[in-house]
Amino acid sequence: MVNNLMPWVGGKYRLRKQILKYFIEDVKQYVEPFVGGGSVFLMAYSTFKECNDFILSDNNANLINAYCQIRDNLSEVIKTIQLLEHERYYEIRKQFNSSFNECSPQQAGTMLWLMGSCFGGVWCLNKKGEFNTAKARKFKNKIKYFKRLQELSTILQDPRIKILHQDFHVTLNNIDIKPNSFFFFDPPYIKGGGFLGFGIQHHELLLDWCKYLNEMGACWLMSNAGDEIETMYIDFIIDKKWVQRTCGYSIISKNFTKEYWIRNR
C-alpha cells in the first residue's frame, strides 16, 4: 500500500498509527488543510470507507501540482522522471526554480525526482524562495516507485477527493462543517514556521478556527510544538509526545523533541 506522496520534513509516516487512535468513528467528511506528504490522509482514506468527502489543501503550489498531475497526467510525470540524470542535478534544480510554481506534469516530475535525489529528501527553500537542497543519492528503485505512483494516482482519481491550492483559512471558510467532520491540522510549527511565512498571527487565526469548529460540533486533532502552543490551547485536551524528527521514512535526528497533540474531544 502507498503510504505517502514523498518524504516530507515533519511527516507523520512513523506516527500515523498512533494518530489513528484519536480519530472519531463514522467520519463522513475528512479535512486536512496542511496535507504535506499525505501519510495521515492515506491512512484515513483506507480506514474511513464510508466517508463522503476528503478535502486536502496546502499553500505549497508545487506540492499541490504534484498531487494533481499524478492524478491527471501520471504518464507524463513518469516520463519526466525517467529522462532526468543525476549528474545534471544542479542544472535541473536551477531549471526547476526558473519555473517555480508552474502547473505542469514536467514540473511535478522534476519535483518528485529532486526530492528523491536530494540530501535527506528535504524540501528546503532559501531566502529567495528557491529550492536549494544539495545533491545526495541517485534516484533508486524507479520501478517500485512508479508502482507506488500508480497506486496513488488511482486513489486520487476517487471523486470524493478534492485537492486545493489555498491557505488553510480559505479552505475552512468554504467548507460545510458537520458534526461528523474530522479535521487534522499539522501546520508549520511556531519555531520554524515564521521562515516559511507562517508566523504567530497564523497560529492565532488557526486557534480561532479550532474554537469555531468546536462550537459547531466538529472534531479536530492537531500536531504542534512550542511552549506558546500549550498556553494558547489551554482550553482543549493536550497530550505531550516525545518524538524523533523525521523526513518521510527516515529519522533525521537522534534526539527526541516535545510535540503537543491537541484535540477538542
CB atoms < 10 A from the CB of 227, how many?
Answer: 11
**Residue whose grid cell is 528523491:** 116
Q: Which of 114, 136, 158 is the last residue of a domain?
A: 158
Considering the domain architecture, whether residues 70 and 150 belong to the same structural domain is answered as yes
Q: Which of 138, 158, 178 is the last residue of a domain?
A: 158
Per-residue confidence (pLDDT) for residue 192, from 0 to 100: 54
CATH number assigned to the domain comprising residue 202: 3.40.50.150
Nearest to 229, CA basis, from 201, 198, 262, 254: 262
Q: Is 19 left (phi over 0), alpha (psi -120 to 50) or beta?
A: alpha
pLDDT digits (tens, 9 = 90+) for 120-135: 888 888 989 999 999 9
pLDDT digits (tens, 9 = 90+) for 138-167: 887 788 899 999 999 999 999 999 999 999
Per-residue confidence (pLDDT) for residue 196, from 0 to 100: 60
Domain hosting 33: range is 1-59+166-265
Nearest to 104, CA basis, from 139, 140, 141, 79: 79
User: Minimum mean pLDDT among 23-27, 146-150, 174-178: which range?
Assistant: 23-27
Considering the domain architecture, whether residues 126 and 175 belong to the same structural domain is answered as no
State the chain's mean pLDDT as an integer: 89
Considering the domain architecture, whether residues 67 and 114 belong to the same structural domain is answered as yes
CB atoms < 10 A from the CB of 72, how many?
Answer: 14
